[in-house]
């Protein structure tokens, strides 16, 4: 998948001798930002008025060309629009209020994730905040919008495996689906308890709490992720009887006291996009082992896109820590030209310590 990103968020530009205009600078990159889309693609750029309901007031088509690293976009600003508040959306499908993973995976479709700016006002002559939204259709009637930062911190960005897993979580609601059989207990408890490691912006855990009733979801990460996660939690509509919280958890330290109690065991521990840095894998595996010593029946689900061979050490460490792989599910990623150019793997484990 590729992501539209604001290199410069939308703002009012008034050059001497020229009419005022809204201006921004975008790029289209991979989730890590380490490569640019190498193909031509047509994008819809839409200025959304927030005067009453969110509606498109100015729009245009822009062309990303192979070899580009950035693309400026401008809109003329008429007098009647100066006092309004706006958001700017740039994406592949015109007039869309969300991205649909299924449609992005279709034939002859480029898998480009749209971006929505934060609110800004030309009358205040300030740029939009350095947060953007990504919105995804999870299933009929369920759309989730997640904010991420526009800066360089990869801890506060959305990544391929997290989005892919989130966009398939609705399969947990289908009894007998491969995902449900892999992740859920055979006998459904009254309250399902799930912990996410390395939550980043929180999309996977938030999707679980949004779609699955009677589920307690705890999102964990380092302190630098707390602000963006708590912002996203505040925007998340929860399923009936479900809860969603954040707690700091450092893999290099002992578990917090509340996670050491076996009176409220976990049923599922999930992590997405957490194995890209092989140096952190030993700490990740030790944290998984500590959690499963307290909750030995918990399933462990690790979603990952293999980026380099050094990530293979994770599997050796899991085997050495006495985790047994139960199954691996594969999800082809929307590609630059066709689906399946890359794959997200969901590896599911059970802790089976020797006696």
**Tokens 């002859």 sit on residue:** 108
Which residue, among 171, 165, 163, 127, has the nearest Cα to 145 in the 3D structure?
A: 163
The answer for residues whose C-beta is within 8 angstroms of residue 162's C-beta and 6 or more apart is 200, 201, 203, 204, 272, 273, 303
How far are the Cα atoms of 13, 115, 128, 129, 203 from residue 89, in angstroms, in the given order? 18, 6, 12, 14, 20
Nearest to 127 by CA among 227, 51, 23, 54: 23
Mean pLDDT, the chain, whole residue set = 91
Among 116, 126, 129, CA closest to 12: 126
Q: Is 313 helix (H, G, I), strand (E, B) or coil?
A: helix
DSSP-derived secondary structure for 80-119 = GGTTS-EEEEEESSTT-SSB-HHHHTSTT---EE-EEEPP
Give per-residue pLDDT as tens, 54-80: 889 889 999 999 999 999 999 988 777
Could you say which DSSP state residue 241 is in? T
Question: At the topology level of CATH, where does 152-351 sit?
Answer: Rossmann fold (3.40.50)
Q: Give the separation between CA 68 and CA 41, rounded to whole angstroms.
A: 11
Of 336, 312, 348, 304, nearest in space to 159 by CA: 304
State which residues of the chain have pLDDT below 70.
17, 52, 81-83, 108, 124-128, 151-155, 339-340, 355
Residue 340, pLDDT score: 65
**Secondary-structure class of domain 2-129 per CATH:** mainly beta
- In whole angstroms, give the CA distance from residue 194 to residue 188: 13
**Cα gap 121→247, rounded to integer Å:** 35
Enumerate the domain spans of the chain.
Answer: 2-129, 152-351
Q: Looking at residue 298, what is its pLDDT? A: 96
Question: Tokens representing 352?
Answer: 């089976």
Residue 21 near residue 66 (C-beta atoms within 8 A): no
- 3-state SS class at 208: helix
Same fold, 2-129 and 152-351: no
Q: 71 - beta bridge partners?
A: 26
Polymer length in residues for the chain: 355
């Amino acid at each position: 998948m590729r992501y539209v990103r604001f290199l410069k968020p939308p703002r009012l530009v008034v050059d001497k001798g020229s009419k005022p205009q809204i201006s921004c600078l975008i790029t289209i990159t991979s989730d890590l930002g380490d490569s640019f889309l190498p193909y031509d693609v047509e994008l819809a750029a839409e200025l959304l008025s927030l005067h009453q309901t969110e509606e498109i007031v100015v729009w245009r088509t822009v062309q990303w060309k192979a070899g580009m690293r950035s693309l400026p976009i401008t809109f003329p600003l008429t007098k009647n629009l100066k006092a309004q508040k706006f958001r700017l959306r740039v994406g592949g499908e015109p007039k869309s209020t969300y991205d649909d993973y299924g449609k992005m995976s279709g034939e002859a479709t480029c898998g480009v994730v749209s971006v929505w700016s934060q609110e800004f006002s030309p009358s205040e002559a300030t740029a939009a905040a350095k947060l953007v939204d990504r919105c995804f259709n999870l299933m009929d009637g369920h759309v989730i919008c997640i904010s991420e930062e526009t800066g360089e911190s990869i801890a506060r960005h959305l990544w391929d495996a997290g989005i892919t897993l989130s966009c398939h979580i609705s399969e947990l609601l289908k009894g007998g689906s491969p995902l449900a059989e892999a992740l859920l207990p055979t006998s459904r408890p009254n309250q399902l308890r799930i912990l996410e490691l390395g939550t980043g912006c929180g999309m996977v855990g938030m999707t679980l709490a949004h779609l699955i009733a009677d589920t307690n979801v705890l999102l964990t990460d380092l302190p630098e992720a707390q602000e963006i996660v708590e912002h996203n939690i505040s925007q998340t509509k929860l399923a009936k009887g479900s809860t969603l919280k954040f707690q700091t958890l450092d893999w290099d330290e002992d578990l917090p006291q509340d996670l050491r109690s076996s009176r409220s065991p976990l049923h599922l521990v999930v992590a997405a996009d957490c194995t890209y840095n092989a140096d952190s894998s030993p700490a990740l595996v030790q944290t998984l082992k500590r959690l499963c010593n307290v909750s030995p029946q918990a399933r462990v689900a690790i979603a990952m896109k293999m980026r380099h061979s050094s990530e293979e050490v994770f599997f050796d460490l899991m085997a050495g820590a006495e985790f047994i792989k139960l199954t691996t599910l594969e999800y082809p990623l929307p590609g630059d030209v066709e689906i399946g150019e890359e794959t997200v793997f969901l590896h599911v484990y059970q802790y089976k310590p020797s006696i």
